[in-house]
Homo-oligomer: A and B are copies of this chain.
Amino acid sequence: MSYRHPDREQIRIEDVLSALGNPIRLAVVRVLDAGGEHNCGSVLNILGVTSKSTMTHHWRVLRDSGVIWQQPSGRENALRLRREDLDARYPGLLDAILTGAVDDETVEADRERLRSGT
């Protein structure tokens, strides 16, 4: 069986934003964007967190908002970022978000360095 995904034209920016406005789901997108083949378990291992059932919820949010493809393949689910669709509908959005997430880490690390020692 396969999942229902929104068509490209059915994607809505507010759904994309609220999907990515969650640390776990944003981290998922960063993992998928970094490349490589991924399934639920591999992402779960990389993030080193949460239960499978919790992730099932996050997969649905990401799928329903149009951010990822999730396709059963054997007993696994192949996961892919819908970059082409997102770039077509919202040029620059995904890159700005991914770059911003990296920037947040940098800024956070800088603040940390300042706090402990000079």
A97 to B97, CA, bound (A): 10
Q: By the criterion CB–CB under 8 Å, are B97 and A91 in contact? A: no
Query: How many residues in A have their beta carbons less than 8 Å from beta carbons of B?
Result: 30
A107 to B104 Cα, complex, angstroms: 32
Does A21 lie within 8 Å of B18, measured CB to CB? yes
Name 19 A/B residue pairs within 8 A (Cβ), A-sorted.
A9-B107, A9-B111, A13-B26, A13-B103, A14-B21, A14-B23, A14-B101, A14-B104, A16-B21, A17-B17, A18-B21, A18-B22, A19-B21, A89-B100, A89-B107, A91-B96, A91-B99, A92-B95, A93-B93
Binary B-proximity of A82-118 (CB < 8 A = 1, otherwise 0): 0000000111110111011101100100110000000
Interface residues of A (CB under 8 A from B): 9, 12-23, 26, 89-93, 95-97, 99-101, 103-104, 107, 110-111
Taking A19-B21, A21-B18 as contacts, is the C-beta distance between A13 and B92 under 8 angstroms? no
Contact partner, A17, options B18, B89, B90, B91, Cβ 8 Å: B18
* A interface SS class: helix
